[in-house]
């Protein structure tokens, strides 16, 4: 099983949704990302040998807060593409949720699973 890096429970606000009110008011989105990579850094103990998760998290934050997608599926896909731009990441699983968007449901969300092979 490949090594993994987890970005858990990144809570941001953005324009997301298809309803008129959603197009004018930012909503919370909860994002979880699992990056599949080779941890050669475990042997070298050198940051240059791994994915810098602080840098990647900042890139995800910038993407999300500047976006205004209609669908959470599109937001999740764009986060996945951003992650795969780092050639050290072989696969990424991204979950995006909209908490409290439906009555009686804690959150509604999607998960996308993408790899360098185009899965």
Looking at every residue in the chain, the average pLDDT score rounds to: 92
How many whole angstroms separate alpha carbon 27 and alpha carbon 69?
12
Query: Distances from the Cα of 64 to the Cαs of 27, 49, 80, 85, in angstroms?
Result: 11, 27, 12, 16
- Structure tokens, 96: 């995006």
Give the H/E segment covering residue 118. Answer: none
Q: How confident is the model at residue 118 (pLDDT cuts 50, 70, 90)?
A: low
Token pair of 22 as six digits: 């959603």
| Residue 106 clears pLDDT 70, i.e. is over it | yes
Mean pLDDT to the nearest integer, 81-99: 96
What is the domain partition of the chain in residue ranges?
A: 3-115
Domain 3-115 = CATH 3.20.20.10? no
pLDDT digits (tens, 9 = 90+) for 2-42: 789 999 999 999 999 998 988 999 999 999 999 999 877 77
pTM: 0.92
């Amino acid at each position: 099983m490949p090594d993994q890096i987890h970005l858990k429970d990144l809570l941001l606000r953005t324009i997301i949704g298809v309803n008129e009110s959603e197009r004018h008011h930012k909503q919370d989105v909860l994002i979880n990302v699992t990056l599949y990579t080779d941890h050669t850094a475990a042997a070298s103990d050198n940051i240059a040998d791994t994915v810098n998760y602080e840098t990647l998290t900042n890139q995800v934050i910038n993407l999300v807060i500047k976006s205004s997608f209609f669908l959470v599926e599109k937001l999740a896909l764009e986060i996945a593409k951003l992650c795969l731009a780092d050639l050290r990441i072989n696969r990424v699983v991204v979950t995006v949720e909209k908490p409290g968007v439906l009555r009686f449901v804690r959150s509604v969300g999607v998960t996308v699973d993408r790899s360098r092979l185009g899965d």
